């Protein structure tokens, strides 16, 4: 709050675009939320693993380490698969965005496309994006298959290794030992798969926290200049030999002077990109004059070029939450 002007444009000082903020909300905040769901596995997973291994030790003795070794070997492998899946998913999202964008453009410009008989070339461009999407989707599904395979195969391999070691050591494998051990290995399954994921998630969450922190610490936009005193006869808007620059330092307007008297209607005319919106931004205090002075008196009502309108009545849009009186 407070970082966004009522017209929906971001503060020029805050320097964050709407797209970046959408990302902060949809990716970074979501990441923190996802982390919280399994946050306690960070301590409970090592605890569960320790308890399960100790109890297995009582069942099958040192043979447990054959199983644990297989389990430990599978952890980096699942990690690699998970990372690969995540990167594929990101690629997939990107291609999907691209496809939706192009399809939207084609749909909204259908009339023109038909007029110029451009259907085939636009159709081809959409098809090529779709093919790209399919290719990535195929790779993603393959990885998913491997991931499911690991999920099913690892417990079998773990118990097979343990029991083999147990029998080879000259012990007798009884049903009670076998089934108790199987149950204990089953307990090991979740924490060993989850722990590496969680460590990874924590590192990602740290990056997100830093990004959110950076955003929350951006300077607040300066408040609108207080309503100046209207001196009868004096101009309400007065710009004297001002040099205006965008916050990034690029020049906007140099040497501009004008005055608006009360009751006067003033129009600013200029080619597109001439700096009209920039000039208005300086009148409402979004841009500071690098030289000269910009002063306004009385109250300011600003209707932005790209208006931000609430889904509400005209009156509500004007009063903006205040009581109509
Ligand atoms: N935030 C910004 N930082 C740097 N340069 C900018 C910024 N916003 C706009 N500009 C550039 O400043 C110039 C003036 O832009 P401005 O939006 O004031 O023009 P305009 O006269 O309002 O045009 P239009 O008639 O299209 O609304 C343009 O060349 C534009 O590319
Ligand atoms: Mg403009």
Residue 113: its pLDDT value, please?
92
User: 276 CA distance to ligand 1 centroid (A)?
Assistant: 8
- All structural domains of the chain with their residue ranges: 18-216, 237-319
Whether 272 is in the pocket of ligand 1, judged by its Cβ within 6 Å, is yes
Residue 98: its pLDDT value, please?
87
Residue 11: its pLDDT value, please?
45
User: 272 CA distance to ligand 1 centroid (A)?
Assistant: 8
Residue 297: its pLDDT value, please?
80
Strand-pair partners of 293: 240
Residue 228: its pLDDT value, please?
64
Residue 28: its pLDDT value, please?
86
Residue among 278, 281, 287, 306 to mutate when testing ligand 1 (max atoms within 8 A of CB)? 278
By CB neighbour count within 10 A (0-12 exposed, 13-18 middle, 19+ buried), where does 263 fall?
exposed
Atom of ligand 1 nearest to the CA of 275: 18
Residue 15: its pLDDT value, please?
61
What is d(CA 84, CA 92) in angstroms, rounded to the nearest whole number?
A: 12
Residue among 276, 280, 304 to mutate when testing ligand 1 (max atoms within 8 A of CB)? 276
Strand-pair partners of 242: 256
What is d(CA 221, CA 28) in angstroms, rounded to the nearest whole number?
A: 23
Residue 3: its pLDDT value, please?
44
18-216 is a CATH 1.20.1560.10 domain: yes
Question: Is residue 188 within 8 Å of residue 71, measured between CB atoms?
Answer: yes
Counting as low any pLDDT under 70, the low residues of the chain are 1-16, 221-230
Local structure of 101: helix, strand or coil: helix
Residue 7: its pLDDT value, please?
44
User: Which CATH number applies to 237-319?
Assistant: 3.40.50.300
């Amino acid at each position: 709050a407070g970082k966004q002007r009522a017209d929906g444009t971001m503060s020029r000082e805050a320097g964050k675009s709407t797209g970046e903020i959408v990302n902060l909300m949809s990716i970074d905040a979501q990441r923190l939320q996802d982390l919280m769901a399994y946050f306690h596995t960070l301590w409970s997973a090592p605890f569960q693993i320790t308890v399960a291994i100790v109890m297995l030790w009582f069942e099958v003795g040192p043979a447990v380490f054959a199983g644990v070794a297989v389990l430990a070997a599978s952890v980096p492998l699942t990690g690699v698969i998970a990372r690969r899946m995540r990167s594929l998913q990101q690629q997939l999202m990107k291609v999907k965005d691209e496809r939706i964008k192009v399809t939207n453009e084609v749909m909204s410009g259908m009339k023109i496309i038909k007029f110029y008989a451009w259907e085939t070339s636009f159709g081809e461009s959409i098809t090529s994006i779709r093919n790209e999407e399919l290719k990535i989707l195929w790779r993603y599904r393959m990885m998913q298959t491997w991931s499911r395979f690991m999920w099913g195969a690892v417990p079998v391999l773990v118990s097979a290794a343990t029991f083999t070691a147990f029998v080879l050591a000259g012990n007798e494998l009884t049903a009670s030992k076998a089934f108790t051990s199987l149950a204990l290995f089953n307990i090991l399954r979740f924490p060993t798969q989850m722990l590496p994921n969680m460590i990874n998630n924590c590192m990602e969450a740290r990056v997100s926290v830093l990004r959110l922190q950076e955003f929350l610490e951006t300077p607040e936009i300066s408040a609108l200049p207080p309503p100046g005193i209207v001196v009868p006869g004096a101009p309400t808007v007065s710009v004297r030999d001002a040099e205006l620059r965008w916050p990034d330092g690029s020049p906007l307007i140099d040497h501009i002077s004008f005055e608006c008297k009360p009751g006067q209607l003033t129009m600013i005319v200029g080619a597109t990109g001439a700096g009209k919106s920039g000039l208005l931004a300086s009148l409402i205090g979004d841009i500071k004059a690098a030289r000269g002075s910009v002063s306004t008196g009385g109250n300011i009502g600003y209707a932005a070029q790209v208006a931000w309108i609430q889904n509400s009545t005209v009156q509500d849009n004007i009063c903006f939450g205040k009581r109509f009186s």
